[in-house]
């Protein structure tokens, strides 16, 4: 473009033609310029212009702002604000965060194998992985982390402590923890931690196997194949439940590989389309499948996203299995990492993906989501219909709609408050300290005596929460004040409010079964780890019960896939 301008200038200076000829030449050159200056060239000029303005602003602020500035923090905020205006998944990854990003894609990191969260002035251990360094060293859920190699951790955030716990495999440190009234010094040797993609598999009914897939790391498909092989060792496998609930996704390639376990070689699973036409691709199964005929149910919910939606969408579009649960998250965008200077990376959305029927499950509007992140209600007029291989109607624009819709597990306000205030966690910590681990397994049930002990323990604990009814009542009170009706019905409203406050005293007993179920799952997890928690939770899982019902009735199974 600059070259064309210089040529234009020289031509006008050196020309000896008449004024009229010059004018004609200018018109011709302008026309030529319009032909050669493409939209992308204009875009590059605009990019250069805006970068020039930004660099000047950045320099002026750092030179002349009244207080000292931190250039790196200013730049981080500028970058993150810019990227957040695009979509929720395009993000900047600093060099210091690369290790965490690698862990998300491979499930591997150097560390101790424990989950932590902030608790008052310190960080508390929430869970430990079986046979991980923390487990071997004797770290337990409920331990407060006081110091690392004598350095106090008071006031540190959970992310700061996490960074200190991670490191090269083979390196060691001394961790000081508080357990109850005691303090312990535990020597820990870091190892390469591999987070399992399949934390649990087993039989949930005669002949019906269950496989929980928690993420799509680079070993997801292998772990599922191994799980199927293990299931086939012990019994005649007649049906499989693949649980993708709460699975946020991961590698697109592994979504194809997982689908390939149940779908024949050469079948398109997903295609991607974006601005760069050369990057558009069709992803097909490359290997011979494990089994293409065994009845299959895929469980999804509002937390099933990305790669989970590719798998469930392909299974549904190809009529390979029945999808049960709640509408999935609705993330139909593909990200690619681009290397930047100084070891940083940019994770940028480069395309959208489409299931075999041609639908894109990306939510139509990024911002229109419910409080839990799930897709809000979308008018049918905004969604396009597609058909599966057998002619069943499916829709785009807002996640995967299950073939059988179930109600999600909902916590009562009192249980939510007990969890958020760490009261259930703390009681279980004390309970486990007095129990023999040999008496606890996935079949464990809380006794009536245990329940009475819990009620006695919780009696003097502070528990503040507001029910939905109380929230609505508070809104009514505020509205009546605004509209000047409050004085007329003040006494009645206060009586109602007092009645609801009194009923809270009975909320724990009224929600006994729900609270007991949560306590039992937490207790089992302390002894049998994540595997035990999942196994225990399946005993009262309505989605799993529905899946067993479908897989146990071949006529019903085939009817769903035909209609």
Average pLDDT, the chain: 86
> Residue 496: pLDDT band by 50, 70, 90 thresholds?
confident
Q: What pLDDT is stored for residue 2 in this prediction?
A: 39
Contact 331, 349 (CB under 8 A): no
Same fold, 108-194 and 200-408: no
Q: What pLDDT is stored for residue 545 in this prediction?
A: 98
Q: What pLDDT is stored for residue 515 in this prediction?
A: 96
Report the distance separating Cα 488 and Cα 523, nearest Å: 52
552 burial level (CB within 10 Å; 0-12, 13-18, 19+): middle
Q: What angle do CA 371, 376, 380 make, to 5 degrees?
A: 175
**Which residues are within 8 A (CB) of 189 and not within 5 positions of it... i.e. 6 or more apart?**
133, 170, 171, 172
Q: What pLDDT is stored for residue 6 in this prediction?
A: 40
User: Where exactly are the structural domains of the chain?
Assistant: 2-82, 108-194, 200-408, 413-465+511-543
Among 3.30.1330.10, 3.40.47.10, 3.30.565.10, 3.90.226.10, name the CATH number for the domain at 200-408. 3.90.226.10
| Range 106-128 average pLDDT | 90
pTM over 0.85: no
Q: Cα 9 to the chain's mean position, in Å?
A: 58
Q: What pLDDT is stored for residue 108 in this prediction?
A: 67
Q: Which of 9-13, 414-418, 477-481 has the lowest mean pLDDT?
A: 9-13
Residues 378-423: tens digit of each pLDDT:
776 778 999 999 999 999 988 999 999 999 988 988 999 999 999 9
Q: By percentage, how much of the chain surpasses pLDDT 70?
A: 86
Among 1.20.120.530, 1.20.120.1200, 2.30.42.10, 3.40.920.10, name the CATH number for the domain at 108-194. 2.30.42.10
Q: What pLDDT is stored for residue 470 in this prediction?
A: 67
The neighbour count for residue 479, using CB atoms within 10 Å, is 11
Q: Which residues are catalytic?
A: 306, 317, 331
Q: What pLDDT is stored for residue 426 in this prediction?
A: 96
């Amino acid at each position: 473009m600059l070259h064309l301008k210089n040529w234009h200038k020289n031509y006008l200076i050196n020309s000896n033609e008449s004024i009229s000829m010059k004018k004609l030449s200018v018109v011709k050159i302008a026309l030529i310029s319009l032909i050669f200056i493409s939209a992308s060239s204009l875009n590059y000029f605009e990019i250069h212009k805006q970068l020039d303005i930004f660099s000047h602003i950045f320099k002026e602020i750092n030179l002349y702002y009244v207080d000292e500035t931190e250039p790196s923090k200013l730049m981080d905020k500028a970058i993150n604000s810019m990227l957040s205006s695009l979509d929720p998944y395009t993000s900047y990854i600093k060099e210091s965060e690369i290790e965490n990003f690698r862990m998300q894609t491979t499930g591997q990191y150097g560390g101790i194998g424990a989950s932590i969260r902030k608790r008052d002035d310190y960080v508390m251990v929430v869970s430990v992985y079986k046979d991980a360094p923390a487990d071997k060293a004797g770290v337990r859920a409920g331990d407060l982390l006081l110091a690392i190699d004598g350095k106090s951790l008071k006031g540190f955030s959970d992310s700061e402590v996490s960074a200190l716990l991670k490191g090269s495999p083979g390196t060691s440190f001394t961790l000081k923890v508080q357990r109850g009234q005691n303090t312990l010094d535990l020597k820990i040797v870091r190892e390469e931690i591999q987070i399992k993609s399949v934390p649990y598999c087993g039989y949930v009914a005669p002949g019906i196997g269950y496989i929980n897939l928690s993420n799509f790391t680079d070993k997801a498909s292998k772990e599922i194949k191994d799980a199927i092989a293990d299931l086939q060792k012990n019994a005649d496998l007649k049906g499989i439940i693949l649980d993708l609930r709460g699975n946020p996704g991961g590698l697109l390639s592994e979504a194809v590989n997982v689908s390939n376990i149940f779908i024949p070689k050469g079948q398109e699973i997903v295609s991607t389309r974006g601005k760069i036409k050369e990057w558009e691709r069709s992803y097909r199964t490359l290997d011979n499948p494990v089994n293409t005929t065994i009845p299959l149910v895929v469980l999804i919910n509002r937390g099933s996203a990305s790669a989970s939606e590719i798998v469930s969408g392909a299974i549904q579009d190809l009529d390979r299995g029945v999808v049960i649960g709640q509408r999935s998250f609705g993330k139909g965008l593909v990200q690619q990492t681009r290397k930047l200077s100084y070891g940083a990376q940019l994770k940028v959305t480069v395309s959208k993906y489409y299931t075999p029927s041609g639908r894109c499950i990306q939510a139509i509007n990024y911002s229109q989501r419910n409080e839990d992140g799930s897709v809000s209600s979308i008018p049918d007029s905004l969604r396009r219909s597609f058909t599966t291989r057998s002619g069943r109607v499916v829709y785009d624009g807002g996640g995967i709609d299950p073939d059988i819709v179930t109600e999600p597990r909902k916590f009562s306000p009192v249980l939510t408050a007990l969890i958020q205030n760490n009261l259930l966690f703390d009681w279980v910590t004390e309970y486990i300290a007095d129990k023999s681990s040999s008496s606890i397994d996935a079949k464990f049930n809380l006794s009536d005596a245990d329940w009475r002990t819990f009620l006695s323990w919780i009696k003097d604990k502070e528990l503040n929460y507001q029910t939905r009814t109380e929230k609505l009542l508070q809104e009514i009170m505020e509205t009546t004040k605004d509209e000047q009706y409050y004085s007329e019905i003040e006494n009645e409203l206060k009586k109602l409010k007092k009645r609801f406050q009194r009923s809270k005293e009975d909320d724990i007993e009224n929600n006994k079964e729900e609270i007991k179920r949560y306590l039992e799952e937490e207790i089992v997890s302390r002894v049998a780890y994540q595997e035990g928690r999942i196994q225990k939770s399946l005993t009262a899982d309505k989605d799993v019960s529905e899946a067993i019902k479908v897989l146990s009735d071949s006529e019903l199974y085939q009817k769903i896939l035909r209609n």
